[in-house]
Amino acid sequence: SQQGEEDPQALSIQEGENATMNCSYKTSINNLQWYRQNSGRGLVHLILIRSNEREKHSGRLRVTLDTSKKSSSLLITASRAADTASYFCATVETSGSRLTFGEGTQLTVNP
């Protein structure tokens, strides 16, 4: 079963703009991770944020986590055409070690 719900399902922006994707989940978590999947490829890990963290940065990526609202956001700044991909959030529950994925956001960055 899917844990997370991502919003929006699809996002289309111009190169240079920022892209924000949101993820909501249902249970208490140990950590939340974001993955990218290019068409026809496997998933690539982008960033992990733990339940005791509120914000994390990695290059052009910024992730926030609000455990009270059970939600996270991924911000990609100064987007590039190469950022075009599907982005998935995934959670690890406090009670287990299984990684449970959301349904993803399809991001299209137009040159």
Partner 1 sequence: EAGVVQSPRYKIIEKKQPVAFWCNPISGHNTLYWYRQNLGQGPELLIRYENEEAVDDSQLPKDRFSAERLKGVDSTLKIQPAELGDSAVYLCASQSGSADTQYFGPGTRLTVL
Q: Provide the binding-site residues for partner 1, judged by CB under 8 A.
A: 1-2, 4, 31, 33, 35, 40-45, 48, 88, 90, 92, 98-104
Q: How many CB atoms lie within 10 A of CB 88?
A: 22
Say whether 83 sits in a helix, a strand or coil.
Answer: helix
Q: Closer to partner 1 at the Cβ: 33 or 84?
A: 33
19 or 34: whose CB is closer to partner 1?
Answer: 34
Residue 41: count of CB within 10 angstroms of its CB = 10
Q: How far is the CB of 111 from partner 1 (least distance, A)?
A: 25
Nearest approach in angstroms of CB 39 to partner 1 is 11
CB atoms within 10 A of CB 75: 14
Task: List the beta bridge partners of residue 91.
Answer: 32, 100
Q: Which is nearer to partner 1, 65 or 92 (CB)?
A: 92
Minimum CB separation of residue 15 from partner 1 in Å reads 25
